[in-house]
Each structure stands twice: as structure tokens, then as C-alpha cells.
């Protein structure tokens, strides 16, 4: 378990770690975009999709490797927890050779924060640090925050932990636009990366390659594939399979579209 002092959020960390909070977009029955006010500079964006249960099988994505199914964060600003949890799943598959669907609810409810956290947004990096204590599976600690947007109290059971992030922690592959080509080399040769992006224009996305986007990071997802000849990234979102291209979006490669290169990480993992 990480000490409280290590997890405190300071001004410089908040800028570099892309803290995201509970200002969100969602679609109503008429597909009109609604907004709620928030004073923070970094905001969480998510799309409410009804009747999209979390998948329980683990197919490999056709343009990537080591990916688990698309999930749905629902009515909760927990994108950071989904991005970090999915990255740990991917890295564990790659590093250990076993497959688990881990619990984003555990990370949402149990990761300590000085402010924010849970459904009010957070850092993927803090999620990786929390996971050094261990993670349960989705089956043993199901996701519930998506229904009403309530973080919930931590109910983790250490006897059920199956995977952890090691003391080596997480590694940052890119933190600026200049690192995009390094990211591409990593994803094409090694595996997915947890990334944080500007998703303010994503709510109406239905398909194709998005080439114009903002640069104010407000959402965390996972880059799972790269096609440099075709000129696009393949990114897995956490808004359910009814959104986008069966839960994925393609972003133009080579121009840091949606600030995709601003916060790209992977984790070192082990069994428990």
C-alpha cells in the first residue's frame, strides 16, 4: 500500500498527471449534448450508454494485442480507473501470460485522494500506485458506480487479490507531442498504452478517422493499435460498445490528435 504522502496531489503533479474531474457530457434520448458546470481546468468526459453489460470473454483486438473487452464506465467520472485497470490487464497478459478481467470498481472506490478521486476524476498514475497493493477481479468486485455516479466505500478483500503492480511501478513512454513516434513504436512492437486525451468532441463520434480535436486533456483511455501507413491510432474507450466503432475510435496519427501523446504509460505487473 502506498503511503498517504506519496499519493498527495501537488500543483506540478496536477499539471503533469492530467487530473480529470466530474464535468461531463452525455447524450439524452434525442442525442442532444448536455453539459454540467465545473470550475476545474481538467475535466472528465463520458458517454452514458444504457444496457451495455461488461463483457466476460477476452478476444484479441484485430489491430492490437493483449486487449480485454470494451467496458462501460456509465454515469461516473472514473475513466482514469478504467484506463489504469485495462492497462494492468494488458501488461499482465503480456508479462505473465495469464488473463484476468480486473475490477475498476476497486480502483474507483479504493484509490486514496486528497481531493477528487472516484467518480470525481483522478490520475491513472495514482491508480497504478494503488494497485501495488493488489487487484481483485471484476467477478469478485463488480462495477456498480456507473448506475448512479456514486464512488462507494472501499470493500476490497486482500484474500482475493490476483494481480499487482510491482515496486517498479509504471513507465511513461510519452508526455508530449514529440513522443508520439516513440509511442507508435511501442504499441506496434510491444502492446497497448494507457493514454489521456481531449475527448470533448467525442460524444457524437460514430466512425472514421478523427483528425481535428482539442488539446485540453479531460479523459483517459487506452491506445491498442497503430496503423502508421493508414495514418491512424486505434483507441479503446470505456463508453460501451454502442458508442463509436464498437467502442473504439480511430485518431489521426502524426499530429498528436486529441493530445494522445501527453500521458502514455504502461505498468510492471506480477501475480499474487
pLDDT in tens, 110-142: 999 877 799 999 999 999 999 999 999 999 999
The residue from 52, 76, 79, 213 that is catalytic is 79
237 is catalytic: yes
The residue from 120, 126, 237, 256 that is catalytic is 237
Q: Quick one: pLDDT band at residue 36, thresholds 50, 70, 90? A: very low
d(CA 258, CA 196): 9
Strand, coil or helix: what is 109? helix
Neighbours of 206 (CB within 10 A): 8
Q: Quick one: pLDDT band at residue 21, thresholds 50, 70, 90? A: very low
Highest mean pLDDT (candidates 11-20, 61-70, 173-182)? 173-182
Residue 131 grid coordinates: 494497485
**213 pLDDT higher than 70:** yes
- Structural domains of the chain ordered from first start: 11-56+70-271 (3.90.70.10)
219 is catalytic: yes
Which residue has better confidence, 72 or 45? Answer: 72
Q: How many CA atoms, within 13 angstroms, populate the side-chain half-sphere of residue 144? A: 12
- Residue 202 has a pLDDT of 96
- Residue 65 has a pLDDT of 74
The residue from 110, 219, 220, 265 that is catalytic is 219
Strand, coil or helix: what is 113? coil
Highest mean pLDDT (candidates 24-38, 57-71, 152-166)? 152-166
Name which of 228, 41, 20, 256 is nearest 122 in CA terms. 20
Name which of 196, 222, 200, 224 is nearest 212 in CA terms. 200
79 is catalytic: yes
DSSP 120: B
d(CA 136, CA 208): 36
**38 pLDDT higher than 80:** no
Amino acid at each position: 500500500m502506498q503511503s498517504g504522502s506519496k499519493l498527495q496531489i501537488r500543483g506540478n503533479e496536477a499539471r503533469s498527471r492530467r487530473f480529470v474531474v466530474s464535468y461531463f457530457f452525455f447524450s439524452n434520448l434525442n442525442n442532444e449534448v448536455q453539459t454540467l458546470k465545473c470550475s476545474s481546468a481538467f475535466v472528465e468526459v463520458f458517454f452514458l450508454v444504457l444496457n451495455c453489460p461488461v463483457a466476460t470473454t477476452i478476444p484479441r483486438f484485430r489491430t492490437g494485442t493483449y486487449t480485454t473487452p470494451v467496458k462501460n464506465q456509465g454515469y461516473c467520472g472514473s475513466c482514469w480507473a478504467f484506463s489504469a485497470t485495462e492497462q494492468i490487464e494488458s501488461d499482465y497478459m503480456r508479462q505473465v501470460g495469464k488473463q484476468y478481467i480486473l475490477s475498476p470498481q476497486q480502483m474507483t472506490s479504493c484509490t486514496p485522494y486528497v481531493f477528487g478521486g472516484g467518480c470525481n476524476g483522478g490520475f491513472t498514475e495514482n491508480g497504478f500506485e494503488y494497485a501495488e497493493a493488489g487487484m481483485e477481479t471484476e467477478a469478485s468486485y463488480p462495477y456498480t458506480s456507473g448506475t448512479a455516479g456514486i464512488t462507494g466505500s472501499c470493500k476490497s478483500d486482500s484474500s482475493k487479490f490476483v494481480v499487482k503492480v510491482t515496486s517498479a511501478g509504471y513507465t511513461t513512454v510519452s508526455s508530449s507531442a514529440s513522443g508520439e513516434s516513440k509511442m507508435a513504436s511501442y504499441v506496434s512492437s510491444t502492446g497497448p498504452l494507457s493514454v489521456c486525451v481531449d475527448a470533448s468532441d467525442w460524444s457524437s463520434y460514430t466512425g472514421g478517422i478523427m483528425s481535428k480535436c482539442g488539446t485540453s486533456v479531460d479523459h483517459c483511455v487506452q491506445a491498442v493499435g497503430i496503423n502508421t501507413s493508414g495514418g491512424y491510432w486505434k483507441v479503446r474507450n470505456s463508453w460501451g460498445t454502442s458508442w463509436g466503432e464498437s467502442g473504439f475510435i480511430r485518431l489521426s496519427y502524426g499530429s498528436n490528435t486529441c493530445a494522445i501523446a501527453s500521458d502514455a504509460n504502461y505498468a510492471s505487473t506480477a501475480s499474487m
